[in-house]
């Protein structure tokens, strides 16, 4: 439903917005055009109204002018002005004019002589009047048929006058004929069609003064403001009998009228009412009089505004209809999309069985095909992945089984040392359940070890990321202590990042106990052997010294062998005792500052017998800078005895042994090198282990117990020193011992190695 709503609403709203925007733009454009068109139409309309009105009034004027012209050319009129017996002529003229049947049109028809005196008139009140001052008389006398509008001098009423010269056959002007149009004829004609109620229709002279209008209040007012010249000219013609002319305040009207030939529509500002007005003007026939039609412009603006609203509504309606049409049209179009969406949703839930069935043959069809192909691919990949996962799960199970079945205690921790997994052996050895161990730290089972131990352990596994080997005293859940041999290895990711630790422990308590029993046994046996051995040596010595009688050669030979054997036995017992004491604890140490060369010399002196026997040379190089070293003299003696006796023992006759004592930094360095048998490379790693003897040494020197280097290394390590060697079989060996100048520390709990 979400997809449907989103796509459809998006689509429809987009198109609706576009439609409305385009509609609005179209409406604005159309409205602007319409405004212009309406304005043009309005001007055209007002001009047409003026034109039509001119046609009607213009005909009356033209007819009247023609009629005056016609009269001026008629014999009865000419004759009347030329004949002296005017009475007879007058009768003739009267019957002639009556025959013209013009009385309903003209209020008066009258004839003037050249001086402007009215000689004849159908209106007797005019006879005897002089109109020489009238413009129409002057124009007619000048030979021009003319029209004028004036307020009559006698009637004091406004009237339309037409005049024409009367010409004799010779062409000379003999007088003037004039007509006064029937009152109301033009006023009745001034009713323009199509003018709205606010509009006005006026007849004006060339100065813009209104002499006929649809509303009486407009009469004898000027459209614009009269210039002083215009005002004077109006007064001169006495047309308006001295009426004070007030302005209707139209702008520019006089200028527009002055040069007018053709009818025209214009917009003028009316100051009096403070609005624009539409003005239609037309010249009446060829006269100096004009028709002026006015309309309030707002009326048209209102019509335009109404039209704009209508167009706006129309656009809105069109938009609504478009949107509805879109909803109807897009629904079937979007149907394939819904189908694709349903398929995708099924895919999302892991259902790849049902395929998309869009066969529209268009882009939707292409998408459906691609979707189905993707589903097939995913199915295949899933199959492969599932297979691999199954295999991996099986491998993992095997791995887990191996860890679980291991007899050694195995725990896996995170980087902070929190236990993540512990196997069955861990449960059996510690007594804690799996649940109790998970989440806790190994300190749960570790009895307190020295600070040094922990520092060393963390430095190895965390900083150096190497395997740590060590012995620990742990505590079971029931409180019992046990000794464990531990291997702790860091767990590293492919990228080499630390992700945890695996700890493997073996309970070696039983083994330790057995070792201790052996050591104790060796110690007891050694002690017990010392007294009888001492007795043997003592009695052999007594016999050799002939304290109890003379000893012959053969007896002496056997006594020497017994002495040598008992001496070896004493050495062995001594070594066994030293080793067992080392195994049981730290040897008793009594350090004192002593010069190392003294001990070395003393030991070499002891060994002189063997050196001479084998014709060997002992080379001594002593550094005078070495000074005294704070060590236990007995311990150092054991060290020198072992190293030097080995060098002599495992070197053939005439060989060379070199002893160097020197200072190297904060250490004393003891080097003993020989040109002897050397140690086979494949056996060098075992040289410091208890009872070990190399094959070549064993062959050449059957005497030996393999304890000397073991004891030496223990003493050196106890003194915080180090011992190492380099050796090549058949060439010789070199042993190097470093002892801190500070010397061996005194340990109160230690036991002394018996001499």
* Beta carbons within 8 Å of 737's beta carbon, 6+ residues apart: 639, 643, 669, 670, 671, 716, 721, 722, 723
Q: Which helix (H) or strand (E) holds 506?
A: strand 498-507
Of residues 174 through 213, those in contact with ligand ADP by CB under 6 A are none
In Å, what is the CA distance from 298 to each residue of 195, 198, 493, 635, 660? 14, 10, 89, 132, 130
Smaller CB distance to ligand ADP: residue 124 or 654? Answer: 654
Closest approach, Cβ 459 to ligand ADP, in A, equals: 32
- Give the CB-side neighbour count of residue 283, counting CA atoms within 13 A: 13
Stretch that binds ligand ADP, among 185-193, 345-353, 554-562, 704-712 (CB under 6 A): 704-712
Closest approach, Cβ 696 to ligand ADP, in A, equals: 7
Radius of gyration of the chain from its Cα atoms, rounded to whole angstroms: 74
Closest approach, Cβ 629 to ligand ADP, in A, equals: 23
Closest approach, Cβ 683 to ligand ADP, in A, equals: 8
Query: Of 50, 282, 694, 753, which one interacts with ligand ADP (CB under 6 A)?
Result: 694
Stretch that binds ligand ADP, among 65-73, 497-505, 559-567, 675-683 (CB under 6 A): 675-683
Stretch that binds ligand ADP, among 69-77, 214-222, 523-531, 646-654 (CB under 6 A): 646-654
Q: Which helix (H) or strand (E) holds 90?
A: helix 86-100
Stretch that binds ligand ADP, among 58-66, 148-156, 549-557, 689-697 (CB under 6 A): 689-697
Tokens representing 457?
């352990």
Cα 631–634–637 angle (5° rounding)?
Answer: 90
Using alpha carbons, select from 287, 289, 123 the residue that is nearest to residue 206: 289
Query: Of 644, 697, 716, 723, which one interacts with ligand ADP (CB under 6 A)?
Result: 697
Closest approach, Cβ 560 to ligand ADP, in A, equals: 22
Backbone angles phi, psi at 576, to 5 degrees: -60, -40
Stretch that binds ligand ADP, among 7-15, 36-44, 423-431, 701-709 (CB under 6 A): 701-709
The verdict on 714 binding ligand ADP (CB under 6 A) reads no
Site of tokens 């882009």: 363
Site of tokens 């309606």: 317
DSSP string, 20-56: HHHHHHHHHHHHHHHHHHHHHHHHHHHHHHHHHHHHH
The verdict on 693 binding ligand ADP (CB under 6 A) reads yes
Query: Of 650, 668, 718, 740, which one interacts with ligand ADP (CB under 6 A)?
Result: 650
Using alpha carbons, select from 119, 139, 30 the residue that is nearest to residue 79: 119
x/- site string to ligand ADP, residues 614 to 643, per CB under 6 A? ----------------------------x-
Q: What is the dihedral of CA 67, 73, 74, 80, to 10 degrees?
A: 110
The verdict on 659 binding ligand ADP (CB under 6 A) reads no
Stretch that binds ligand ADP, among 295-303, 325-333, 366-374, 699-707 (CB under 6 A): 699-707
Closest approach, Cβ 635 to ligand ADP, in A, equals: 16
Of residues 723 through 752, those in contact with ligand ADP by CB under 6 A are 733
Closest approach, Cβ 705 to ligand ADP, in A, equals: 5
The verdict on 582 binding ligand ADP (CB under 6 A) reads no
Smaller CB distance to ligand ADP: residue 600 or 707? Answer: 707
In Å, what is the CA distance from 185 to each residue of 41, 109, 125, 219? 31, 16, 21, 17
* Beta carbons within 8 Å of 653's beta carbon, 6+ residues apart: 614, 615, 616
The verdict on 456 binding ligand ADP (CB under 6 A) reads no
Q: Which helix (H) or strand (E) holds 472?
A: strand 468-475
Eight-class DSSP state of 602: H
Query: Of 200, 256, 308, 674, which one interacts with ligand ADP (CB under 6 A)?
Result: 674
Site of tokens 């095909």: 369
Give the length of the chain. Answer: 755
Smaller CB distance to ligand ADP: residue 322 or 733? Answer: 733
The verdict on 679 binding ligand ADP (CB under 6 A) reads yes
Query: Of 61, 707, 715, 739, which one interacts with ligand ADP (CB under 6 A)?
Result: 707
Smaller CB distance to ligand ADP: residue 470 or 680? Answer: 680
Q: What is the dihedral of CA 503, 509, 515, 517, to 10 degrees?
A: 170
DSSP string, 260-312: --S-EEEEEEETTTTEEEEEEEEE-TTSS-EEEEEEEHHHHHHHHHHHHHHHH
Q: What sign results for the dihedral spanned by CA atoms 415, 421, 423, 426?
A: positive
Closest approach, Cβ 580 to ligand ADP, in A, equals: 15
Q: What sign results for the dihedral spanned by CA atoms 391, 397, 401, 404?
A: positive
Of residues 94 through 123, those in contact with ligand ADP by CB under 6 A are none
Using alpha carbons, select from 172, 81, 177, 80 the residue that is nearest to residue 137: 177
Query: Of 192, 490, 591, 708, which one interacts with ligand ADP (CB under 6 A)?
Result: 708
The verdict on 704 binding ligand ADP (CB under 6 A) reads yes
Closest approach, Cβ 525 to ligand ADP, in A, equals: 19
Closest approach, Cβ 579 to ligand ADP, in A, equals: 10
E strands along 182-249, which residues? 200-204, 210-213, 221-222, 246-247
Of residues 520 through 539, those in contact with ligand ADP by CB under 6 A are none
Stretch that binds ligand ADP, among 167-175, 291-299, 474-482, 708-716 (CB under 6 A): 708-716
The verdict on 675 binding ligand ADP (CB under 6 A) reads no
Smaller CB distance to ligand ADP: residue 76 or 680? Answer: 680
The verdict on 705 binding ligand ADP (CB under 6 A) reads yes
The verdict on 676 binding ligand ADP (CB under 6 A) reads yes
The verdict on 706 binding ligand ADP (CB under 6 A) reads yes
Smaller CB distance to ligand ADP: residue 539 or 692? Answer: 692
Smaller CB distance to ligand ADP: residue 273 or 700? Answer: 700
The verdict on 677 binding ligand ADP (CB under 6 A) reads yes
Tokens representing 370?
């691609």
Smaller CB distance to ligand ADP: residue 409 or 693? Answer: 693
Closest approach, Cβ 733 to ligand ADP, in A, equals: 4
The verdict on 647 binding ligand ADP (CB under 6 A) reads yes
The verdict on 753 binding ligand ADP (CB under 6 A) reads no
Q: How far apart are CA 589 and CA 665, in angstroms?
A: 24
Query: How many amino acids of this chain bind ligand ADP (CB under 6 A)?
Result: 22
Cα 619–622–628 angle (5° rounding)?
Answer: 145
Stretch that binds ligand ADP, among 53-61, 236-244, 434-442, 644-652 (CB under 6 A): 644-652
Give the max Cα distance, the chain.
235
Start-end of H helices in 272-422: 297-348, 363-405
Q: Which residue is nearest to ligand ADP (CB)?
A: 708
Closest approach, Cβ 710 to ligand ADP, in A, equals: 6
Closest approach, Cβ 703 to ligand ADP, in A, equals: 8
Closest approach, Cβ 531 to ligand ADP, in A, equals: 24
Yes or no: say if 491 and 500 are a contact pair by the CB < 8 Å rule: yes
Residues that bind ligand ADP (CB under 6 A): 642, 646-647, 650, 674, 676-679, 687, 692-694, 697, 704-710, 733
């Amino acid at each position: 439903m979400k997809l449907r709503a989103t796509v459809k609403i998006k689509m429809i709203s987009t198109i609706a917005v576009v439609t409305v925007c385009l509609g609005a733009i179209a409406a604005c454009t159309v409205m602007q055009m319409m405004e212009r068109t309406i304005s043009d139409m309005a001007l055209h309309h007002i001009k047409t109204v003026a034109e039509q009105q001119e046609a009607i009034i213009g005909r009356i004027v033209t007819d009247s002018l023609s009629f005056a012209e016609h009269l001026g050319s008629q014999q009865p009129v000419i004759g009347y002005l030329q004949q002296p017996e005017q009475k007879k002529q007058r009768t003739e003229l009267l019957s002639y004019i009556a025959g013209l049947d013009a009385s309903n049109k003209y209020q008066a028809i009258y004839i003037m002589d050249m001086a402007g005196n009215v000689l004849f008139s159908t209106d007797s009140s005019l006879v005897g009047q002089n109109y020489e001052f009238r413009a129409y008389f002057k124009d007619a006398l000048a030979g021009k048929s003319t029209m004028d509008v004036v307020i009559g001098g006698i009637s004091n009423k406004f009237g339309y006058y037409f005049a024409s010269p009367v010409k004799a056959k010779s062409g000379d002007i003999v007088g003037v004929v004039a007509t006064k149009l029937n009152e109301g004829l033009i006023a009745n004609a001034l009713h323009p069609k199509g003018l709205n109620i606010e509009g006005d229709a006026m007849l004006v002279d060339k100065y813009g003064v209104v002499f006929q209008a649809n509303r009486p209040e407009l009469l004898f007012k000027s459209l614009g403001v009269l210039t002083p010249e215009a005002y004077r000219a109006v007064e001169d013609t006495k047309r308006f009998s001295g009426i004070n002319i007030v302005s209707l305040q139209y702008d520019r009207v006089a200028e527009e009228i002055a040069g007018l030939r053709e009818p025209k529509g214009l917009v003028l500002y009316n100051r009096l009412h403070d609005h624009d007005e539409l003005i239609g003007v037309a010249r009446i026939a060829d006269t100096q009089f004009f028709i002026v039609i006015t309309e309030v412009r707002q009326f048209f603006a209102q019509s335009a505004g109404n039209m704009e609203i209508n167009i706006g509504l129309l656009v809105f309606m069109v938009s609504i209809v478009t949107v509805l049409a879109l909803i109807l049209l897009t629904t079937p179009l979007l149907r394939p999309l819904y189908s694709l969406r349903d398929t995708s949703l099924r895919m999302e839930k892991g259902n790849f069985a049902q395929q998309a069935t869009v066969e529209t043959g268009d882009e939707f069809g292409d998408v459906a095909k691609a979707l189905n192909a993707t589903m097939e691919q995913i199915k295949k990949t899933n199959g492969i992945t599932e297979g691999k996962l199954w295999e991996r799960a099986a491998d993992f199970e095997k791995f887990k089984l191996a860890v679980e079945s291991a007899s050694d205690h195995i725990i896996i921790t995170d980087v902070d040392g929190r236990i993540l997994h512990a196997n069955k052996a861990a449960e059996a050895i510690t007594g804690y359940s799996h649940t109790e161990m998970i989440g806790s730290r190994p300190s749960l089972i570790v009895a307190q070890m020295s600070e040094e131990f922990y520092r060393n352990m963390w430095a190895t596994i965390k900083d150096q990321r190497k395997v740590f080997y060590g012995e620990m005293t742990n505590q079971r859940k029931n409180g019992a202590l046990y000794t464990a041999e531990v291997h702790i290895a860091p767990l590293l990711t492919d990228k080499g990042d630390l992700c945890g630790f695996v700890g493997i422990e073996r309970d070696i308590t039983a083994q330790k106990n057995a070792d201790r029993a052996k050591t104790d046994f060796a110690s007891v046996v050694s002690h017990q052997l010392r007294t009888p051995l001492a007795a043997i040596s003592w009695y052999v010595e007594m016999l050799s010294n002939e304290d109890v009688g003379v000893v012959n050669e053969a007896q002496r030979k056997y006594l020497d062998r017994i002495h040598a054997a008992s001496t070896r036995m004493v050495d062995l017992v001594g070594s066994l005792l030293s080793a067992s004491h080392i195994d049981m604890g730290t040897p008793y140490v009594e350090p004192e500052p002593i010069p190392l060369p003294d001990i070395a010399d003393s030991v070499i002196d002891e060994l002189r017998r063997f050196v001479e026997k084998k014709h060997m040379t002992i080379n001594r190089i002593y550094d005078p800078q070495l000074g005294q070293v704070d060590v236990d003299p007995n311990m150092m003696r054991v060290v020198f005895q072992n190293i030097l006796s080995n060098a002599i023992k495992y070197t053939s006759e005439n060989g060379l042994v070199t002893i160097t004592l020197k200072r190297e930094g904060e250490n004393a360095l003891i080097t003993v090198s020989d040109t002897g048998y050397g140690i086979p490379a494949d056996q060098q790693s075992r040289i410091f282990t208890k009872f070990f003897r190399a094959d070549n040494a064993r062959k050449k020197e059957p005497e030996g117990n393999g304890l000397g280097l073991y004891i030496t290394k223990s003493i050196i390590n106890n003194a915080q020193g180090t011992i190492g060697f380099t050796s090549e079989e058949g060439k010789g060996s070199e042993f190097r011992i470093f002892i801190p100048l500070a010397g061996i520390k005194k340990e109160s709990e230690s036991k002394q190695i018996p001499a």
